[in-house]
């Protein structure tokens, strides 16, 4: 079993991330270790509920917890702020009080939504993350960022709020679609590219999802560890943590331009990492051949490395300047000094202008 402990300086926050195949089958005792109360409210989505809802509920009931499960539709639309009222209402109806527990059972959408609900309901109640997508297991469940979406944009309302525990069972990844699995791999490739050349090389040696799954607990562990290290040093996201945005500035703009329908988050990030690295090579910041190496690894997991219609960059670059992270014309992008080594590179949106020449 892999075990990580997150400690944040100047904080009461200190929690464990447990990673083990089959952990979901011992859920009762895992929860008892961090929660002595009675009531548990589970928030999950329809897909996850279909596979794991009953077993999770039964195990918690067997451990003498009183459980209420709420199932929301799968997909980003469940993260819209308009849904909060209905969720709080159900919690009130269940008489969930200050010391009672909320469990987030699902991917990043459920983790962000339930995390925000936990941070705000009665000014904050304890919660446990049970991430069920690869993206949630290696990224969104670690770091304490929780959020909901506004009509004007994603993640515009949120908080920094940490769970009591993160319970990761890699077995649940077996029911993921290939697309969702690849999405998570984009973030793993990102960790390798920005922090850990060895991880990058190791991913190369696993040519398929099946091969990757044989080592997935190590991959999840290393990813969580790398994220935990930066979060520990920069909990509120003002410095080091920015490095995690490699590929994301452009990726977010691409996702948003196509209304989150054409490209998933991981696909946007894959295109973003390859494209920005190519631009950085042209400007002499990143050594030649780096973009091609990242592209090859993305292709290994069926991730796209360029947008289909370069002409769309005219509009996509306009979106870049309205991103909440690029206020006052300044833009901090993340580039690779070498593979495995990222730096913050202060620039403006003009950095991307050569993309328009191809458009
Ligand atoms: N808080 C953070 O730091 C952070 C970081 C990255 C992304 N995010 C957020 O995460 C969200 C994306 O997360 P995601 O990619 O996990 O999407 P998701 O939660 O929508 O899950 C993807 C799909 O997989 C299904 N699913 C989940 N687990 C499954 C399983 N074990 N078996 C079968 N199907 C399963 C879901 O129902 C959904 O249809 C976005 O809203 C993004 O903003 C947050
Ligand atoms: Zn991401």
**Which tens digit of pLDDT belongs to each residue from 112-134?**
999 999 999 999 999 999 999 99
Does 114 contact ligand 1 (Cβ within 6 A)? no
Q: Can you tell me the distance from the alpha carbon of 350 to that of 334, in angstroms, rounded to the nearest whole number? A: 15
In the chain, ranges of CATH 3.40.50.1970 domains: 2-175
CA 160, CA 237: separation in Å to the nearest integer? 10
pLDDT tens for each residue of 213-234: 999 999 999 999 999 888 888 7
Query: Facing residues of 69 across strands?
Result: 42
Q: How far is CA 36 from CA 5, 33, 39, 61, in A?
A: 20, 8, 10, 14
The best mutation among 24, 107, 130 to test binding of ligand 1, ranked by most ligand atoms within 8 Å of the C-beta, falls on 107
**H/E element, 336:** strand 331-338
Q: Looking at ligand 1, which atom is closest to the CA of residue 110? A: 19
**Measured from the CA of 46, which atom of ligand 1 is nearest?**
37
Q: Check: CB of residue 133 under 8 Å from CB of residue 108.
A: yes
pLDDT at 53: 98
Q: Which CATH number fits domain 2-175: 3.30.1490.20, 3.40.50.1970, 1.10.3430.10, 3.40.1390.10?
A: 3.40.50.1970
**Best of 108, 117, 236, 266 for a ligand 1 pocket test (most atoms within 8 Å of beta carbon):** 108
CA distance 46 to 238: 36
**CA 244 to centroid of ligand 2, rounded, Å:** 8
pLDDT (tens digit, 9 = 90+) per residue, 171-206?
Answer: 999 999 999 999 999 999 999 999 999 999 999 999
Find the 140 Cα to ligand 1 centroid distance in Å. Answer: 8
Measured from the Cα of 143, ligand 1's closest atom is: 3
Arithmetic mean of pLDDT, 147-156: 93
- In the chain, which segments carry CATH 1.20.1090.10? 178-358
d(CA 172, CA 131): 9
Query: Tokens at residue 90, please?
Result: 């159900």
Is the confidence at residue 323, as pLDDT, over 70? no
Per residue in 42-66, pLDDT tens?
Answer: 999 999 999 999 999 999 999 999 9
Contact partners, residue 255, CB within 8 Å, separation at least 6: 263, 264, 265, 268
Please tell me the distance between residue 99's alpha carbon and the centre of ligand 2 in angstroms: 32
pLDDT of residue 319: 86
d(CA 182, CA 301): 6
- For ligand 1, whether the C-beta of 244 sits within 6 Å is no
Tell the burial category of 213 from Cβ atoms under 10 Å away from its Cβ (0-12, 13-18, 19+): middle
Which residues on neighbouring strands pair with residue 127, listed in sequence order? Answer: 102
Cα of 206 vs centre of ligand 2, distance in Å, is 22
Verify whether ligand 1 is closer than 6 Å to residue 74 (CB atom).
Answer: yes
Q: Which two tokens stand for residue 227?
A: 């994220």
Ligand approaching nearest to the C-alpha of 136: 1
> Are the C-beta atoms of 142 and 165 separated by less than 8 Å?
no
How far does the chain reach from its first CA to its final CA, in angstroms?
A: 50
Superfamily of domain 178-358: Dehydroquinate synthase-like - alpha domain (1.20.1090.10)
Average pLDDT, rounded, for the chain: 93
Mutate to test the pocket of ligand 1, among 114, 140, 209 (most ligand atoms within 8 A of CB): 140
User: CA–CA separation, 88 vs 198, rounded Å?
Assistant: 45
């Amino acid at each position: 079993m892999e075990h990580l402990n997150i400690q944040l300086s100047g904080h009461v926050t200190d929690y464990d991330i447990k990673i083990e195949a089959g952990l979901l089958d011992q859920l009762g005792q895992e929860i008892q270790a961090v929660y002595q109360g009675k009531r548990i409210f589970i928030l999950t989505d329809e897909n996850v509920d279909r596979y794991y809802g009953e077993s999770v509920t039964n195990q918690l009931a067997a451990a003498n917890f009183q459980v209420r499960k709420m199932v929301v539709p799968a997909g980003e639309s469940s993260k819209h702020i308009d849904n909060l009222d209905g969720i709080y209402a159900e919690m009130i109806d269940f008489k969930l009080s200050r010391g009672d527990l909320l469990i987030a059972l699902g991917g990043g959408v459920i983790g962000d939504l339930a995390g925000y609900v936990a941070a705000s309901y009665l000014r904050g109640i304890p919660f446990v993350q049970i991430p069920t997508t690869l993206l949630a297991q290696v990224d969104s469940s670690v770091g304490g960022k929780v959020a909901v979406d506004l009509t004007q944009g994603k993640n515009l309302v949120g908080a920094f709020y940490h769970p009591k525990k993160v319970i990761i069972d890699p077995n649940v990844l077996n029911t993921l679609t290939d697309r969702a699995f690849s999405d998570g791999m984009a973030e793993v490739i990102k960790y390798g590219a920005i922090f850990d050349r060895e991880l990058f090389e190791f991913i190369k040696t696993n040519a398929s999802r099946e091969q990757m799954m044989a080592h997935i607990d190590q991959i999840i562990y290393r990813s969580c560890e790398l994220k935990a290290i930066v979060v520990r040093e920069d909990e509120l996201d003002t410095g080091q943590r920015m490095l995690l945005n490699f590929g994301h500035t452009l990726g977010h703009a691409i996702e948003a331009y196509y209304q989150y329908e054409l490209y998933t988050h991981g696909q946007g990030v894959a295109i973003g990492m390859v494209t920005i690295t190519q631009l950085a090579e042209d400007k002499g910041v990143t050594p030649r051949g780096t973009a091609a190496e990242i592209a090859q690894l993305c292709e290994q997991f069926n991730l796209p490395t360029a947008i289909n219609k370069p002409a769309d960059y005219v509009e996509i670059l306009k979106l870049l300047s309205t991103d909440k992270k690029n206020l006052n014309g300044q833009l901090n992008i993340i580039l690779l000094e070498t593979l495995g080594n990222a730096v913050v590179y202060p620039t403006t949106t003009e950095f991307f202008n050569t993309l328009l020449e191809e458009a």
